[in-house]
Structures are given as structure tokens and as C-alpha cells.
Amino acid sequence: MVKTETVLQINNLTKKYYNSFTAVDNLNLTLNKGEIFGLLGPNGSGKTTTLLMILGLIEPTEGEIKVLDLNPFKEPLKVKKHIGYLPDSIGFYEDLTAYENIEYTSKLLKIPKKDRENRIVEALDKMGLKERMNEKVSTFSHGMKQRLGLCEIIIKQPKIAILDEPTQGLDPKSILDFLDIIKSLSISENMTILICSHQLNEVQYICDNVGLFSKGKLLAKGAVKTLSQKVYGTDYLIDVDVSTNKDISSLFKSIKDIKSFEKNDFGTWRLNCKKDIRSNLINTLVEKNINITKISTYTHSLDEVYNQYYKGGEIDEK
């Protein structure tokens, strides 16, 4: 068994303001090396406050944060060496080239001169910006500037990257490209990535685990499949399309492991089963000379889980 390495440990973290408003309420969270974790929740749910405390920019009222066993408030400079941060609105010197912007950052980070050029060019190359590194940033699109922001993280070589709404304002093609880049960083750099986002489909595409925030509390966390099972149960959902207009509901009733079924407006049958019965189902339909045009398992999306939860569904974290 591969041993996991904890890089971020949050214990009983609470942040209260002077007007008695509780922004974060008794938060407990652990992130491991190489993990991509998505922090989700409505505006005002406590996500940004949590990020700021991890970065050591605001102090908690109670609780503890450990970044690689370092305290962000007692050892802020040491912690900042290990964390890269991409805010939702990133700024560059528009009249400087991409290379010059990253070079400026590398000097602030006190990267040795002998290593500086290679690290900058390598980072720009990984982000697909090497061919345009001598062009002014004023000529760059929003998506290119976001990738340039990741260059700043790469040259720092942090253990943890915090990305706040990283795909905001990108077109669909750029979003997919950007998410693939983030996934590759997690693998190639073995970097832990914490993403704060409202885009649920993007979070599901990229994240190993997610956490749902509400009114300062982290009410549920885990893999999307695990959260789905906690909301909807552990039954298997199977979608079947057949090339017949006949009512085959009696056939489904005869299969013992099918608990319930329904047909949607597009003609697809959704079967709620006790286990994966696709093999038996195919054999049964073929025996009855019913042609199958499509069969697949169905997993509830993060969007469905999220909406179900926030409209009153319960997730038991025990």
C-alpha cells in the first residue's frame, strides 16, 4: 500500500468577526500530496476566508492550520515558500513581455540567477507560451494570462497550489485545455491543488475529492461517487435504449434484481438495480429479440448532488 503524505491539516478552524458573524465554523480538513481538492459552496459560505487563513493573511479565532507541519501565522515566510496562489483576478505588467513578468517574479522569489532562465523558459514551455514569451502581455488573451499565472506558480515549485476560480472568463475550449494543464501539474510536479470554484462540471472533471461549504461549515467531503451514494443510495442505475416501441415494462419486472424503472421523454429506460446486471439484462433482451442500441451505467453528476443537497438532501458524514 502506498503511504499518503499529508501536506495540509486543518483542525477545528473557526473565524469569527467582531459583529459576532461566524465566517468559518469548526472546519476539519486534510489534503494529501498530489491530491486535487475542490471547495464548493454558495457566495458567503466561507470558502475565501478559509483560503486566506491557509495563506496566513488573516488569523483564525480558534483552531489550527498546519502546512507541511508549519504554522502559517507563526512561520508565515516559511509557509509562503511552499504555497502558490492564483487569485480570481490576476494582474501583470502589461508593457512587459511574458518572460520579463516571470523574470520579475523569479527575482522576488530570490531564485538564483544561474537557475532563473532555465526555470522560466521551462515553465513557459509547459504552459504553451514559449513561442510568445517575448511578446508584451498586453497582447495576450485572458486565457493566456491565466496560463501565465500558472507559470508564476511553477517557477516557485510549491508543494501546494491554491486556485481561486481559475477558469472564470475562459471560453469552453480554453477551459478544457486549462483543466488538463492543472491535472498534468498535479502529476508531473506531484503538487497538491486546492481549487475554489462555482463551476461544478469543471470541478467534477478535475478533482479527486470535493467539499461542500454552507454557512461556514464543511458539511460533506469526499469523492463525487461517494457523495452521490450518500444522497441517492448505493443502487446501480443503468440506462438502456432499445429499438422497439413495445412496452417492455413486464420484462423488466421479471428480472429480480431490478427494483424500479422508468422511461424518459427521449425513450431511454432507466433501471434502478440492486447490483450491476448488465450482462444478464443483455442476455434477456437478446433472447426476446429486442435490439439494444445503447446500454450504460449512470452516475449522478456533482451538479445533481450539489443541488439535491442544498435543497434539503442529507449527507451523513459518520
Cα–Cα distances in angstroms (integers) from residue 229 to residues 52, 58, 223, 288, 298, in the given order: 32, 36, 10, 33, 12
Phi, psi of 46 (to 5 degrees): 115, 5
**Strands 217-222, 236-242: parallel, antiparallel or unpaired by DSSP?**
unpaired
Burial of 49 (0-12, 13-18, 19+ CB in 10 A): buried
Contacts of 44 (CB under 8 A, 6+ apart): none
Report d(CA 19, CA 114) in Å as an integer: 52
Planar angle of CA 276, 208, 120, nearest 5 degrees: 145
- Contact assessment for residue 38 and residue 207, using Cβ atoms and an 8 Å cutoff: yes
Report d(CA 120, CA 102) in Å as an integer: 7
Residue 297: all three cell numbers together = 451505467
- Contact assessment for residue 306 and residue 200, using Cβ atoms and an 8 Å cutoff: yes
Q: Cell numbers 507541519 correspond to what residue?
A: 69
Q: What is the DSSP string of 135-188?
A: SBGGG--HHHHHHHHHHHHHHH--SEEEEESTTTT--HHHHHHHHHHHHHHHHH
Report d(CA 140, CA 129) in Å as an integer: 10
* Residue that wins the pLDDT comparison between 316 and 44: 44
pLDDT at 53 exceeding the cut of 70: yes
Helix locations, the chain, DSSP H? 47-54, 76-82, 98-108, 113-126, 142-156, 172-188, 200-206, 224-232, 249-253, 278-287, 302-310
What percent of the chain has pLDDT above 90? 51
Q: What is the pLDDT of residues 195-249, one digit of tens each?
A: 988 788 888 889 999 998 888 888 889 988 888 888 877 678 999 999 888 889 9
Assessment of whether the complete model's pTM goes beyond 0.75: yes
Per-residue pLDDT at 312: 56
Q: How confident is the model at residue 1 (pLDDT cuts 50, 70, 90)?
A: very low
Q: What is the pLDDT of residues 166-179, one digit of tens each?
A: 888 788 888 888 88
Residues forming beta bridges with residue 294, ordered by sequence position: 241
Q: Cell numbers 510536479 correspond to what residue?
A: 189
Residue 113: all three cell numbers together = 540567477
The mean pLDDT of 93-112, rounded to a whole number, is 95
Report d(CA 252, CA 259) in Å as an integer: 9
The mean pLDDT of 79-93, rounded to a whole number, is 89
Cα–Cα distances in angstroms (integers) from residue 152 to residues 35, 128, 149, 155, in the given order: 20, 14, 5, 6
CB atoms within 10 A of CB 144: 18
Report d(CA 8, CA 39) in Å as an integer: 14
pLDDT at 269 exceeding the cut of 50: yes
Secondary element (H or E) of residue 117: helix 113-126
Per-residue pLDDT at 314: 42
Q: Cell numbers 475529492 correspond to what residue?
A: 209
